[in-house]
Chains A and B, each alone.
With several copies, the nearest count.
Chain A
Amino acid sequence: MAKVTMIEAINRAHAWEMAHDSTVVVLGEDIGINGGVFRATAGLQEKFGTERVQDTPLAEGMIAGMSIGLAAQGLRPIAEIQFMGFIYPAMDQIANHMARMRHRTRGRITLPLVMRMPHGGGIHAPEHHSESLEAMLAHHPGLRVVCPSSPARAYGLLLAAIRDPDPVMFLEPVRLYRLVRQEIADDGQALPLDVCYRLREGNDATIVTWGAMTFETLRAADQLQKDGVSCEVIDLATLSPIDHDTILESVAKTGRLIIVHEAARNCGIGAEIAATVAEHGLYDLQAPIKRVTGYDTPMPLFRLEYDYIPSVARIIDAVRDTLTE
């Protein structure tokens, strides 16, 4: 078993599935000979040819629209959007067609496709390269929105996404691409979608988070543990539809809920989780629900990005606040 980074794990998931399913095709900007700006598709064109691994002209709406055409014809496209901030030109295709093709044709046309995209900030990237727009996608019924937080989950969830019979938006936290290495078997084993992953057990408070924010969250949990505060950390993983049961169960145990995400707060996924607990778990709550999120401003240019991204200190304070209530 090899120790790989998340970007390598993503690369291997592609390679595995392309080798085992000839209907899988890969497309996007600079994903061919260049192997993607983050190298997620490195080597694939060489291995699988220029028909199955295609650079596209520069147009995200086109990438999404042609993916629909490909999938409707029975292929399984994996399309890369170079950075999540460039998803907007594709939104018409995603919302008005992708998300509802099965629904509106009563199952006649289905779209087994994946749109992959780097997600979030923290690597001092240029303007528009650090966006967290998962809530925009999650608000559109008919899409699965997935975000891994480790190499192994990236591998297993991407395989699940490719094999899923419906469109999956696969968000890859850029900060984690090369942060850690982890052993993966590379055996084509998929992980389940639509469920949360418990990263850490605890009794005093539940922290729900996903993607790169698992990093700050686990560090905060470590520090709190030193002071005897035991936090349960839940990785949402599939951001839509949400596995609310796991969260409600945990809150029933801990009585306290903190949600951490990098995206802007207003109408973020944190709001949905909080609202659901306020409806179905209200009597379990021993303190107000806290959200530790990006501010309701655009992600700033990078000199301030770590003032925007929730810090360990902010998470710790939020947990402490709920404990002293």
Chain B
Amino acid sequence: MKTIAEFEVKYCQFLDADGKAVGKLPPFTQDAAELVKMYRLMTLVRTFDTKAINLQRTGKLGTYASCLGHEATHVGAAAAMRSDDVLVPVYREYGAQFWRGVTMTDVLLYWGGDERGNDFKESRQDFAWSVPIGSQMLHAAGAAMAMKIRGETRCALAFIGDGGTSQGAFYEAMNLAGARALPAIFVIVNNKWAISVPIEDQTATATLAQKAIAAGIPGVQVDGNDIFAVRHTVAEAIAAARDGKGPTVIEAVTYRLSDHTTADDATRYRKEHEVKDAWKSEPLLRFRAYLKSTGAWDDAREETLKAECAGLVDAAVEEYLHTPKQSTDAMFDFLFARLPKSTREQRDAARRYASSGAH
């Protein structure tokens, strides 16, 4: 039998687990201030994450999805975007969202059971969190289609998890984006687990990047704990998209260092040593080591930053905790632009029973 088509998947890494450069670094790494900005945000995200888990444990927050270990992937991808691009998150990409102006208070409100968390003050074109796994991929493709129809040079970037790659919507979106050469970037965050299901049980593929081949579009794997690799690869993909060259799939290989959410207990299904090993290649460690090696960072700055982050997080928590509950009208006010009569009647009825339910 003759061979009629050949494909390959490439891998990108710039920093090893110790923060040593492997190969020539991309140009943006020359901008020390920018690197420090990225590092500072990653540190803020981690501080926030720890606090949020704490709030949940003490009954002040609902179920919360931690982003521990994903900071490089999230911040790196967002740092490659322009502010007028469209971000399409899943539910734990706080690093990317903070970079784009979503606030910590927004995140807390959302997981605190308040729709106002979805009403971002910045990047208002970005999509809200998308809990139904896989579905968000199509929003990115559709947004990218709008950009293409209008001849803009913007792009849409969607995140999806390793588990999410089993959903049909994931493939449908890639296929559409490929078929119409849409300016869409799909970042698969392969953190090895979908709740309790390890990636080996999710699919038989050697990589998740190769799933792009099914859509006839490029797929690249990167070290998702290496923020240089993530930012560089996403930037290249975005440049191609703006250039009319169509979509790219990027698999960022990282690890979910936390439980799936605060409602989960990962000790039930995964080995302690696996997690311990994963900590050795986590993203802040290596980035900090690199920055220190270039003289852009030191322990004193680290201490100051930690205090600063703690302060910022505390302020956001205060704001969150002091946000009064919405009135019962909130159930109705945004259902339609023109509220139908029957719904208005229900709104009025609900007022009479405000907080009559169990708690």
Verify whether A and B have any Cβ pair under 8 Å: yes
Question: A residues touching B (Cβ–Cβ < 8 Å)?
Answer: 25, 29-30, 32-35, 37, 51-52, 54-59, 61-62, 64-75, 85-86, 88-89, 92-93, 96-97, 102-110, 122, 124-129, 141-142, 144, 164-166, 194, 216, 241-245, 265-266, 295-297, 300-314
A-B contact pairs, 28 of them (CB 8 A): A37-B195, A55-B197, A57-B163, A57-B202, A58-B202, A59-B176, A62-B175, A65-B169, A68-B138, A69-B145, A73-B143, A85-B131, A85-B132, A102-B337, A103-B115, A104-B115, A104-B128, A105-B128, A106-B119, A165-B338, A242-B342, A295-B350, A304-B328, A307-B355, A308-B357, A311-B353, A311-B357, A313-B353
B residues 315-350 touching A (CB-CB < 8 Å):
325-326, 328, 330-332, 334-338, 340-343, 346-347, 350
Identify which of A104, A265, A300, A303 contacts B112 (C-beta below 8 A).
Answer: A303
Extra A-B contacts (6), CB below 8 Å, given A61-B172, A308-B331 = A58-B163, A66-B142, A66-B145, A69-B142, A241-B343, A312-B358
B55 CB to closest chain A CB, in angstroms?
13
Pairwise interchain contact B337-A165, C-beta atoms closer than 8 A: yes
B210 CB to closest chain A CB, in angstroms?
16
Pairwise interchain contact A88-B196, C-beta atoms closer than 8 A: no
Identify which of B131, B196, B358 contacts A306 (C-beta below 8 A).
Answer: B358
Pairwise interchain contact A311-B142, C-beta atoms closer than 8 A: no
B98-120 vs A, CB cutoff 8 Å, 1 = contact: the mask equals 00000000000011111110111
Pairwise interchain contact A68-B142, C-beta atoms closer than 8 A: yes
B149 CB-CB contact with A under 8 Å = yes
Q: For A266, what are the chain B residues with a Cβ–Cβ distance below 8 Å?
A: 342
Q: For A308, what are the chain B residues with a Cβ–Cβ distance below 8 Å?
A: 331, 357
Pairs of residues from A and B, 8 with the lowest C-beta to C-beta distance, nearest first: A69-B142, A65-B138, A306-B357, A302-B113, A66-B142, A34-B196, A73-B146, A57-B166
B120 CB to closest chain A CB, in angstroms?
7
B140 CB-CB contact with A under 8 Å = yes
How many chain B residues touch A (Cβ–Cβ < 8 Å)?
Answer: 88
B147 CB-CB contact with A under 8 Å = yes
Which residue of chain B is the closest to A307 with respect to CB atoms?
A: B328
B86 CB-CB contact with A under 8 Å = yes
- Given A30-B196, A296-B342, is A37 in contact with B268 using a C-beta cutoff of 8 Å? no
A276 CB to closest chain B CB, in angstroms?
9
- Given A34-B196, A57-B201, is A297 in contact with B343 using a C-beta cutoff of 8 Å? yes
B188 CB to closest chain A CB, in angstroms?
13
B125 CB-CB contact with A under 8 Å = yes
A263 CB to closest chain B CB, in angstroms?
14
Identify which of B115, B145, B353 contacts A314 (C-beta below 8 A).
Answer: B353
B212 CB to closest chain A CB, in angstroms?
16
Q: For B111, what are the chain A residues with a Cβ–Cβ distance below 8 Å?
A: 126
B36 CB-CB contact with A under 8 Å = no
Pairwise interchain contact A142-B335, C-beta atoms closer than 8 A: yes
Q: For B350, what are the chain A residues with a Cβ–Cβ distance below 8 Å?
A: 295, 307
B152 CB to closest chain A CB, in angstroms?
9
Pairwise interchain contact B138-A126, C-beta atoms closer than 8 A: no
B194 CB-CB contact with A under 8 Å = yes
B177 CB to closest chain A CB, in angstroms?
10
Report the Cα distance A34→B347, complex, angstroms.
Answer: 41
Q: For B95, what are the chain A residues with a Cβ–Cβ distance below 8 Å?
A: none
Which residue of chain A is the closest to B324 with respect to CB atoms?
A: A303
Report the Cα distance A142→B340, complex, angstroms.
Answer: 10
B32 CB-CB contact with A under 8 Å = no
Report the Cα distance A313→B328, complex, angstroms.
Answer: 16
Q: For A194, what are the chain B residues with a Cβ–Cβ distance below 8 Å?
A: 338, 340-341
Pairwise interchain contact B169-A166, C-beta atoms closer than 8 A: no
Identify which of B142, B326, B346 contacts A65 (C-beta below 8 A).
Answer: B142
Report the Cα distance A314→B167, complex, angstroms.
Answer: 41
B81 CB-CB contact with A under 8 Å = no
B201 CB to closest chain A CB, in angstroms?
6
B301 CB-CB contact with A under 8 Å = no
Q: For B269, what are the chain A residues with a Cβ–Cβ distance below 8 Å?
A: 33-34
Q: For B197, what are the chain A residues with a Cβ–Cβ distance below 8 Å?
A: 29-30, 55, 57-58
Pairwise interchain contact B357-A307, C-beta atoms closer than 8 A: yes
B203 CB-CB contact with A under 8 Å = yes
Q: For A124, what are the chain B residues with a Cβ–Cβ distance below 8 Å?
A: 62-63, 113
Q: For A103, what are the chain B residues with a Cβ–Cβ distance below 8 Å?
A: 115, 334-335
Which residue of chain B is the closest to A143 with respect to CB atoms?
A: B336
Pairwise interchain contact A65-B172, C-beta atoms closer than 8 A: yes
B297 CB-CB contact with A under 8 Å = no
Report the Cα distance A311→B325, complex, angstroms.
Answer: 18
Which residue of chain B is the closest to A38 with respect to CB atoms?
A: B263
